[in-house]
Structure 1
Amino acid sequence: MTSPAVPSCRRTRPWPGSAAHYAAAMEATFTEPVNVLGMSTGGSIALQLAADHSELIARPVLGGTACTLGPIGKRAQRAYIDRARRGQRPSPAPAELVTESAIGRALVTTLGWVADGRKDHTDVATMRNAADRYDLRGRLHDGKACTLLFQGAKDLVYPLEPARQTARAILGARLISYPGRSHATTFTDKRFASDELTFLLDG
């Protein structure tokens, strides 16, 4: 039995298309610019939204994201896509993004393999293909809104340096780095909510 082919990103609508869908929904729902919270992949789409439709955004708050993936993130994305294309369970591929511990990676790999079951992973692989090609470094200056970025200092998906590049390129952007935090634990840090609210209420 063959697995469904994973569509190439060239035949799909990656982040600009996703941002356009959000922009249309925002225009239909709100009469003035709104605050936007985006985390990880949602954060990269929010960056695209801010660049393409800056008039709709009041203040973006972005966690665990940047203008492009880091090398480890890209490697894990490609491994996921390749496994999905071969009909293999793909979720073990990103284990290296979760922990640097060999035992931890083995556990995550096993849990990912079990969780995948026999599901069709075509849609997720297509989304990851778009994320793999995502690079907004040439468009960041188009975002006009005052932006706050949160980043874990040990994030392997979107490392700290691309996050710094992102903050430097957006006029007035601010970057908060949480020492010792990984990609996932950035969002569970107890400072996240309070720092976010302080930023949003400050303006």
Structure 2
Amino acid sequence: MTTRAAANGIDIAYESFGSPDGRPLLLIMGLGAQLIQWDEGLCELLAEQGHHVVRFDNRDAGLSTHFHEHGVPARGAAPPYLLDDLADDTAALMDVLGWPAAHVVGASMGGMVAQTLAIRHPARVLTLTSVMSTPGPSVAPPTQAAAAILMGRPAESREAVLEQAVLTWSTIGSPGYELDQDRIKAMAGLAYDRCFDPAGTARQLAAIMASGDRTELLGQVKVPTLVLHGEADPLIPVVGGRATAAAIPGARLVTYPGMGHDLPRELWPAFVAEITKLTSA
């Protein structure tokens, strides 16, 4: 069941899995993605390992507050918010949940938010897991094909959105694993019906670009850190994961051959095992 919380001056939509007595585990999704992109099956696997899992919509995604009044940011203009604000949203959601601190997992832009949370609110982060992310946009630039997908004109109709989703994931997804077009279309349709706001994605992207490089600040992070990354990621190449791990003292890097910029179902057990090892230490 989706719940809405008033946090940091906005409304944040979230869902939970597992026992409230479990280890608190907060999942932060990436650019333009909604909480449903943390697949229920993956959330349930994490809950089975003793975690109280919460997945949520970032601002400008899903059922959380959207900044429609700002439209699409003009090139070179100051964005309406930064990754700092998304990190503060996350800390405020933890306040609503009654969590003094949590194990934090972020994917792609969500990894950037998780890194920023660990920098800005170090006492709130028990462990940090950064998945297919980077310390800054210039550290691991996308391939030409991936950049074209990222910057391409958004589809408008529901049917076009489903077809675009297949093109997107066939370009940036995992070449080492089978592309399930039916599943991709089903998820894209669910996301479209739940919320469709390409301008919100553009505002999030502007926040990423304006937030700069965190490499030096990540040297301050003292919590146990895990970095997971696909070796075949064209959107944020594996150099981004390596740079993240190198920047955070004591961070552990795990890379996966054949994994692109997604979370292949076949690797869920491996992800869950690595995260559980970190959170239960």
TM-score with structure 2 setting the length: 0.55
CA distance in 2, matches of 1:23, 1:74: 35
State the one-letter code of the partner of 1:45: V
Aligned residue for 2:216, secondary structure, equals: coil
Specify the alignment match of 2:141 in structure 1. Answer: 71
Specify the alignment match of 2:35 in structure 1. Answer: none
Aligned residue for 1:145, secondary structure, equals: coil
Offset, 1:54: 0.8
1:138 to 211, 216, 221: 216
Aligned residue for 1:149, secondary structure, equals: strand
Offset, 1:83: 2.4
CA distance in 1, matches of 2:277, 2:127: 12
1:167 to 213, 231, 245: 245
- Name stretches of at least 5 consecutive residues in structure 1 with no aligned partner: none
Aligned residue for 1:181, secondary structure, equals: coil
Aligned residue for 2:215, secondary structure, equals: coil
User: Does residue 1:191 correspond to 2:270, yes or no?
Assistant: yes
Per-residue displacement from partner, 1:76-131 (whole Å, max 9, x unpaired)? 467645625xx89885785632367xxx8xx9xxx7xx9679x5421122112323
Per-residue displacement from partner, 1:42-79 (whole Å, max 9, x unpaired)? 11110111111111111112222121343216984676
- Residues 74 and 166 of structure 1: CA distance in aligned 2, closer, same or farther (over 3 Å): farther
> Which of the pair is proportionally richer in strand?
2
Query: 2:132, 2:238 within 8 Å by CA — same for their partners in 1?
Result: no
Bigger relative contact order (CA 8 A; separation at least 6)? 1
Specify the alignment match of 2:123 in structure 1. Answer: 55
Query: 1:66, 1:162 within 8 Å by CA — same for their partners in 2?
Result: yes
Specify the alignment match of 1:83 in structure 2. Answer: 153
> Which of the pair is proportionally richer in helix?
1
TM-score with structure 1 setting the length: 0.74
Specify the alignment match of 2:60 in structure 1. Answer: none
State the one-letter code of the partner of 2:133: T
